[in-house]
């Protein structure tokens, strides 16, 4: 027969394992993101998909962003880089599932998996940095606030490359 102390210790260990939420322990719901550009000194604005401005500054800089936008939804941000008032480029940043979130499966943390980590936003992480390189090779202002910029394909993000259309 187990002593009361050992029984209490075992019960405490089981309860802790069942209620642990790995991502909340190792991640934070708000994460710093470094913002850089080449050349430095570009102004940047960070917006949500709804167009709400959640950060701005001058490169090199840093913004603190929420990793989640809602229950089980990663946050997505649009970075606009400008120099002299002209739009130089945009970058999209989207949260990704944290490896620590999977730790809930390994240790049996069901409450952490479906309640704590999703509600805290810690189940997602953001990339640590955003970089805008180079300026347009040529730029033409058009009517209705539109513009045309010729850029090197090397300066495009993978998301921007995926939207290219072969002519």
Domains assigned to the chain: 27-157 (2.60.40)
11 φ/ψ angles, rounded to the nearest 5 degrees: -65, -40
CB 49 within 8 A of CB 73: no
Higher pLDDT, 30 or 62: 62
Residue with tokens 């050349």, as numbered in its chain: 39
DSSP state of 103: H
Q: For the chain, what percent of residues have pLDDT higher than 90?
A: 29
Predicted local distance difference test score (pLDDT) of residue 18: 46
- Written as six digits, the tokens of 54 are 């959640």
Predicted local distance difference test score (pLDDT) of residue 23: 47
- Written as six digits, the tokens of 9 are 């210790």
Is residue 137 predicted with pLDDT exceeding 70? no
Output the CA–CA distances (angstroms, integers) from residue 58 to 18, 31, 37, 113, in the order listed.
45, 18, 9, 38
Taking only the tens place, the pLDDT of each residue in 95-130 is: 887 766 666 666 656 666 666 666 666 778 889 999
Higher pLDDT, 73 or 154: 73
CB 131 within 8 A of CB 158: no
Is residue 17 predicted with pLDDT exceeding 60? no
Higher pLDDT, 33 or 99: 33
Predicted local distance difference test score (pLDDT) of residue 39: 86
Give me the numbers of helices (H) and strands (E) for the chain, helices first please. Answer: 6, 13
Output the CA–CA distances (angstroms, integers) from residue 36 to 8, 79, 129, 158, in the order listed.
53, 11, 8, 17
pTM for the model stands at 0.63
For the chain, the 3-state helix, strand and coil shares in percent, each to the nearest 5, are: 30, 40, 30
Predicted local distance difference test score (pLDDT) of residue 33: 95
Predicted local distance difference test score (pLDDT) of residue 154: 64
CA distance 55 to 48: 10
Predicted local distance difference test score (pLDDT) of residue 19: 47
């Amino acid at each position: 027969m187990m002593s009361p102390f050992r029984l209490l210790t075992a019960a405490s260990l089981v309860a802790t394992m069942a209620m642990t939420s790995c991502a909340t322990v190792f991640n934070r719901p708000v994460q710093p993101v470094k913002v850089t550009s080449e050349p430095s000194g570009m102004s940047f604005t960070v917006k949500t998909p709804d167009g709400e401005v959640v950060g701005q500054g001058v490169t090199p800089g840093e913004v603190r962003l929420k990793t989640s936008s809602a229950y089980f939804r990663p946050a997505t941000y649009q970075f606009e880089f400008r120099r002299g008032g002209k739009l130089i480029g945009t970058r999209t940043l989207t949260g990704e599932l944290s490896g620590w979130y999977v730790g809930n499966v390994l240790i049996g943390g069901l409450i952490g998996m479906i309640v704590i980590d999703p509600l805290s936003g810690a189940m997602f992480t953001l990339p640590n940095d955003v970089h805008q390189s180079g300026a347009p090779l040529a730029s033409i202002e058009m009517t209705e606030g539109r513009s045309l910029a010729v850029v090197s394909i090397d300066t495009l993000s993978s998301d921007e490359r995926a939207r290219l259309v072969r002519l």
